[in-house]
Amino acid sequence: MIGVVVLGSTGSVGENTLDVLARNPDRFRLVALGANRSVAKLAQQIRQWRPAYAALADVNAARELQQLLGNSVPETRLLAGADALSEIAALPEADSVMAAIVGAAGLRSTLAAARAGKRLLLANKESLVMSGPLLMDAVRVGGATLLPIDSEHNAIFQCLPPQARVGEAPPGVRRVLLTASGGPFREASRDALAAVTPEAACAHPNWVMVRKISVDSATLMNKGLELIEACFLFGLRPEQVEIVVHPQSIVHSLVEYTDGSLLAQLGSPDMRTPIAHALGWPDRIASGVEFLDLIRTGRLDFQAPDSDRFRCLALAQAAARAGGLQPVVLNAANEVAVQAFLERRLNFLEIAAVIEAVITKTTGAGAIGSLDDVLAADGEARRLAHERLNGHHAARGQAPRGVHA
Ligand code: NDP
């Protein structure tokens, strides 16, 4: 039995992971669950799975959980605080750790799993974007096995030669093609883009996602972050990662070899496929995903992205080329700008303008030496982004308000 820890169990990737585990009860044993403050959902998961440990980062929520459960699940030990997540990520009884906490909050526990030499199932892309060199070092030093969960990176991993090693340039590979659905505004004009609402940006045509990731998908920043992720995971230069818009989200990505072969991974757009692939690797296990009917699918389209209308992609490509702390700055400025867009304080096109202004102010951000460098650059970029937002409203002579109202 493979012992599994699910960090971020109450989120979308976490719940999909539990769904795949439930389909393979003779293979996996759930050791621990971890989340932030979703008390009711975690309580329900604890009652169903009865793991040895469960942790909430938020101490007050953990107290509430303790009261809610009382002594009803005596086999589960409850832990509280952000450090508890790192603790369960390194448990000796855990073989595989699903890192599915969203955002920078997932950094420490992901690093802890890598240092402890676990099989690390990496959904938390922020830990690669923000601290790629540190995470890849921790994987090497800790002897961990890193398996990508993001559907595109999992697809690339599936198309690589068996002797490829994560973090090293794969033999015989010329480049990879990262597919992008193009989001809901693929065909929209610049004027139309300036007027889109958060509701429209969050209505993704193929994937069900949380609001921040939906906006990233609509601006193509998500693809830019994935490009950075791909460079670290597969030892590629940014020029070796081509973004291809593929509206049907059936081809999840492709690998091009020096002999002219192009290998692709196809499947229904459902996160349970990459999750099942990484959980079972190198075996194949049931995922519950609907099998693909190519005849019903009919056609697969591909086109180039328009980086004039979708500036965020060009900014991410530039940050990938600059390296060091630039991806940290990009990610932090983007988070602030997207939040402002969701709060109707910024229009859709202004997201890229805020990020660009922050990057311009921090050009020359140095190399990554430690997690402290990362957190300092992240904090500075957030401060500059807020400053820029406040200046933006002052220039308009208005208090922050709903620009789309
Ligand atoms: P969700 O927002 O659905 O879930 C986030 C999870 O993280 C929840 O369990 C949440 O706990 C937990 N969490 C949030 N903040 C903290 C914190 N401060 N400390 C501890 N735990 C915290 O996100 P997703 O499942 O969609 O995404 C998870 C990761 O996977 C992200 O990095 C995302 O980019 C990546 N990803 C997601 C994909 C998708 O299809 N959803 C596809 C590919 C990658 P609580 O409920 O208690 O707040």
375-394 pLDDT tens trace: 999 999 999 999 999 986 66
Nearest to 316 by CA among 359, 371, 256: 359
Please report the pLDDT score of residue 208 as a whole number. 57
Please report the pLDDT score of residue 402 as a whole number. 33
- Does residue 57 line the site of ligand 1, with CB under 6 A? yes
Please report the pLDDT score of residue 205 as a whole number. 63
**171: pLDDT strictly greater than 70:** yes
Give every strand in the sheet of 262-266, ordered side by side.
241-245, 173-180, 251-257, 262-266
User: Alpha-carbon distance 57 to 9, whole Å?
Assistant: 12
Please report the pLDDT score of residue 210 as a whole number. 77
Please report the pLDDT score of residue 184 as a whole number. 87
**400: pLDDT strictly greater than 90:** no
Give the start-end residues of each E strand in 105-225.
119-122, 145-148, 173-180
**398: pLDDT strictly greater than 60:** no
pTM over 0.75: yes
> Which of 42-56, 149-163, 367-381, 389-403 is predicted least confidently?
389-403
**98: pLDDT strictly greater than 60:** yes
- Environment class of residue 318 by beta-carbon count within 10 Å: exposed (0-12), middle (13-18) or buried (19+)? middle
User: Alpha-carbon distance 219 to 240, whole Å?
Assistant: 22
Who's near 311: CB < 8 A, 6+ residues apart? Answer: 349, 352, 353, 356
Distance 307 CA to ligand 1 centre (A): 28
Query: Is the sign of the CA dihedral 128, 129, 132, 138 positive or negative?
Result: negative
Q: Which of 85, 101, 338 to mutate to test the pocket of ligand 1 (most atoms within 8 A of CB)?
A: 101
Element housing 6 (H / E): strand 2-7
Nearest to 179 by CA among 290, 238, 264: 264
- Does residue 403 line the site of ligand 1, with CB under 6 A? no
Q: Which of 12, 20, 41, 204 to mutate to test the pocket of ligand 1 (most atoms within 8 A of CB)?
A: 12
**129: pLDDT strictly greater than 80:** yes
**404: pLDDT strictly greater than 60:** no
Q: What is the mean pLDDT of residues 392-402?
A: 53
